[in-house]
Amino acid sequence: MSSSSPLSFVHDSLRQRVVFDSGRAVEAVTEQVEELHIRRPLLVSTRSAHAVAAAVADRVAPAAHRPDAVQHVPRRDADETTALAHESGADGIISIGGGSATGLAKVVALRTGLPIIAVPTTYAASEATPVWSITDDRTKRTGTDPAALPKVVVYDADLVSTLPRDLAVASALNALAHSVDSLWAPQANPINRVFCIESARALATALRSLAEEEAPDRDGRRKVQEQALYGCYLSGVAFGSAGSGLHHKICHVLGGTFNLPHAATHAVILRHVAALNLPELPTVADDLATALGGAEAGAALHRLYREVGAPRSLAELGMPEDGIAEAVERILAVVPAGNPVAVTEENLTALLTAAHRGDDPA
C-alpha cells in the first residue's frame, strides 16, 4: 500500500454499545447487565461514586465490590482486584467513576476476559478506548487490546453534575487533548479525523458553559453536560483509533513518574504540544481552528484556555523542577514514530520548562 496517497490508510471500527440516558444510570445499567446475561458482576468504583455505586449494587447484587480505584492503576490494585474477580466468581465488571475506575476495570478485563459495563463520572473518555495502563515503580506502561474495551458505556449527565468546576474544566480539556493529539497520532486517518474535529467543536462549546460561575437552570446545565459527554465520547473513539501521539506519551511519563493529577496534566501540556506540531499540519490546523471558534488554531486554544481558567503550570500540579531532566530522558525513549516535528532533547526540554513555569508556548 502506497503511503503517498492521502486516501491510503487502514481503519478499524471498534464494536461497543453506547447508551446516553440522563437521569437513568441505575436503570440503564440494570438493563445492560440483563442483556449481557451477567449474573455476578464485580463492581469497581471511585470513592466519589459511592452513592450511585450503592444504588446499582441494590439492583444487581454484585459478587464483590472494589470501591477505591485511584489514578494510574497501581499494579498492586490491579493484582488485588483481579484476585477478587477470580475469588468471587465474577462473570462481568461494572465500573462506576472517573478514568481511575474504568482503568482498573480494564486491566482486570484484560487478564480475565470479563466484559465491562462502564459508567463514567468524568470526561476522561477511557471508556471509549481499548487502551489500558498500569503503573509500577514510577513507570506507567500502556497497551492496546480489544479485551480492554468496555462492551457497553452508560452516560448519564447527572453523574458528572457533581464535578467541582475546576475538575470539570480540566477533565473536559483532557478529552479535548484526545481529539487534538489524535490529529497527528501514529494511526491518524481521515475517518478518525472527523471524530477529532467534531469532538473538539462539541467540547469547546461545552467547556465555555462548564466554566461559567453562574449555573443556568438544571435543564440547561444538563444539556451542557450531555454535549460535553458527547464530545468526550467522540474524543475517545478518535484516540482509540488513532493511537497515542506525542501529547499522550508526555503525559503518561509525567503522570506515572511524578503521580501528577491526570486531567490537569493533560490540560497544561496540550497547548505546548499543539504549538510544536500544528504549524506542520496547516490543513488540519485550519479545521481545528474552525472547531474551536477561531481563525488560527493556536490562538483559538489560548483564548479557550483564558476563558475557562484552565490550569497552566506543572509547578502548580506539584511537579518538581529538577524532575524535568528525568522526564525528558523518559519521554525521548517513547516518542511516537511519525510525529510531524522531530523531538529532540532541546525542544522537549524547552517545552517542559515552559509548561512547568506556566509560560505561553513559544
H or E, element range at 217? none
Give the per-residue contact string, 110-139, with ligand NAD (x = CB under 6 A; - = no). Answer: -----------xx-xxx--x-x-x------
Between residues 75 and 86, which has the closer beta carbon with respect to ligand NAD?
75
Q: What is the 3-state secondary structure (H, E, C) of 85-141?
A: HHHHCCCEEEEEECHHHHHHHHHHHHHHCCCEEEEECCCCCHHHCCEEEEEECCEEE
Instruction: Say whether 309 sits in a helix, a strand or coil.
Output: coil
Fill in the amino acid letter for 290: T
Which amino acid, one-letter code, is at 205? T
Tell me whether residue 78 or residue 163 sits nearer to ligand NAD (CB atom).
Answer: 163
User: Which of these ranges, 67-75, 110-118, 181-189, 190-198, lies near ligand NAD under the rule CB under 6 A?
Assistant: 67-75
- Binds ligand NAD (CB under 6 A): choice among 53, 107, 152, 159: 159
Cα-based angle 141, 144, 150 (whole degrees, multiple of 5): 115
- What is the contact mask toward ligand NAD in residues 47 to 66, using x (rule: CB under 6 A)? xx------------------
Give the residue from 340, 337, 338, 317 showing the smallest Cα distance to 327: 317
Candidates 229, 273, 254; CA nearest to 121 is 229
Residue 98 lies near ligand NAD (rule: CB under 6 A): yes
267 part of the interface to ligand NAD, by CB under 6 A: no
Q: Smaller CB distance to ligand NAD: residue 236 or 298?
A: 236
Q: Is 157 one of the binding residues for ligand NAD (CB under 6 A)?
A: no
Say whether residue 269 binds ligand NAD (CB under 6 A).
no
Binding-site ranges for ligand NAD (CB under 6 A)? 46-48, 71-73, 97-100, 103, 121-122, 124-126, 129, 131, 133, 159-160, 162-163, 167, 171, 174, 262-263
